[in-house]
Amino acid sequence: MSLINRQQSPSLRQGFRLQWEPRQDCHVLLYPEGMIKLNNSAGQILDLVDGRRSVAVIIDLLSACFPGEPDIDLDVLAFLEVAHAQFWIE
């Protein structure tokens, strides 16, 4: 059973900040103990995680940006599961 559902509105965990890092040419997730370099997809998903948008809205926005991308909803849900398990989001 998934811990993430489409009605939830996830947010970055307190103390975490997402930003674009030009020197790395990617999004990074900063936290007190360090930094996590994110791939393009992870950065795009986390950029939409704001505590107000539901998972369903995040999926809809990404589906509109990438029409025809198969199973984007499953990919977003899977990534959010990982982000939750890593304590990046709540």
Q: Residue 5 has which token pair? A: 């559902």
Please state, in angstroms and rounded to a whole number, the distance separating the CA atoms of residues 28 and 18: 6
Domains of the chain, residue spans:
17-85
Residues 32-80: tens digit of each pLDDT: 999 999 999 999 999 999 999 999 999 999 999 999 899 999 999 999 9
| Fold entry, domain 17-85 | Arc Repressor Mutant, subunit A (1.10.10)
Residues 6-31: tens digit of each pLDDT: 999 999 999 999 999 999 999 999 99
> What residues form DSSP beta bridges with 21?
26
